[in-house]
Chains A and B, each alone.
Chain A
Amino acid sequence: MLTQVSLEHILLLSAALFTIGILAVITKRHAVVVLMGIELIFNAANLNLVAFSRHDPQLIQGQLFSLFVILVAAAEAAVALAIVLRVYQHFKTANLNQIVSKEG
């Protein structure tokens, strides 16, 4: 009964999450919130991979790919937050617009 979720509905959910991530990346000024938007985009992509992996006759290639995506996302988040911390120590702000205007 639980398995009857159609593929299109999962893809639509993933499209909605992707859109929310895009919106966060475009409209937010704080660097950390932009990172959260990027994480949402990664999640949307993972949802697609897992959804198609359910029908994969060669068994769970999509799930393996989504595992690697999660791994790369974790590495990206660590490095990006380290950069944000350095930028905050240097400019005394994590606001992207102020950083751009300070650098000229």
Chain B
Amino acid sequence: MLFYIFAAIAVLSGAYMVLTRNLLYAGFSLLLTLLSVAAIYVLLFADFVAVTQLMVYIGGVLVLILFGIMLSSRVHDKSVMSENTNVGWGITISLLTLIGLSYTIWQAGFSSLPWIQQAGTDVLAGQKSTVQLIGVKLMTDFVLPFEIASLLLLIALMGAAYIATDKQKV
């Protein structure tokens, strides 16, 4: 039941993000969507992913996006409003995507796949929290992607700082 409430909040605020023209309203409805997706992660036994979503998306990406809105438009004039373009094509393509994806999900019957049937409903239900499991996995099976991720973050940090500096003033 909780899942459906959070799913409804996520979809409705996502739809409002598309429908509204005000950039700030769009940013805050994206906040609501990300929060409800984090809640759904908790319901799916992914507590660490939920906390990461809260810290990285809401604490990081969303703040960055709000900064981007405020720095790339003057709040008091019209540029905080965003016009739409290609509305007909956009609605057509996204409706086709939605219908195609729903039909595929409906036809595929993922719940009756052998490995899902074999695994039962919830492998993780016995765990109290996934944090220890994720830590062990990161340091054993996934240590190479972990290190590459740290390198990627360093490169992204330096690249973003380099791109955003004003070269004329230096």
Contact = CB atoms under 8 A, between A and B. Distances in A.
Nearest to B88: A27
Given A47-B40, A78-B156, A3 B121 contact: yes
Contacts of B110: 7-8, 11
Interface in B41-59: 41, 43-46, 48-49, 52-53, 56-57
B105 A15 contact: yes
Interface residues of B, number: 89
Contact of A43 (B3, B26, B37, B86): B37
Contacts of A86: 163-164
B124 A27 contact: no
Contact of B97 (A6, A19, A72): A19
A59 to B, nearest CB: 6
Contacts of A57: 115, 118-119, 123
Interface residues of A, number: 75
B18 interface: yes
Nearest to B116: A55
B77 interface: no
A27 B61 CA distance: 22
Contacts of B134: 60, 63-64, 67
Given A2-B2, A56-B119, A27 B65 contact: no
Interface of B: 2-4, 7, 10-11, 14-15, 17-18, 23, 26-27, 30, 33-34, 37, 40-41, 43-46, 48-49, 52-53, 56-57, 60-61, 64-65, 67-69, 71-73, 79, 82-87, 89-91, 93-95, 97-98, 101-102, 105-106, 110-111, 115-116, 118-125, 130, 133-134, 137-138, 142, 145, 149, 152-153, 155-157, 159-161, 163-164, 166
The 9 A-B pairs with the shortest beta carbon distances in the complex, nearest first, are A75-B156, A26-B90, A30-B82, A27-B90, A15-B101, A82-B164, A82-B163, A23-B94, A94-B72
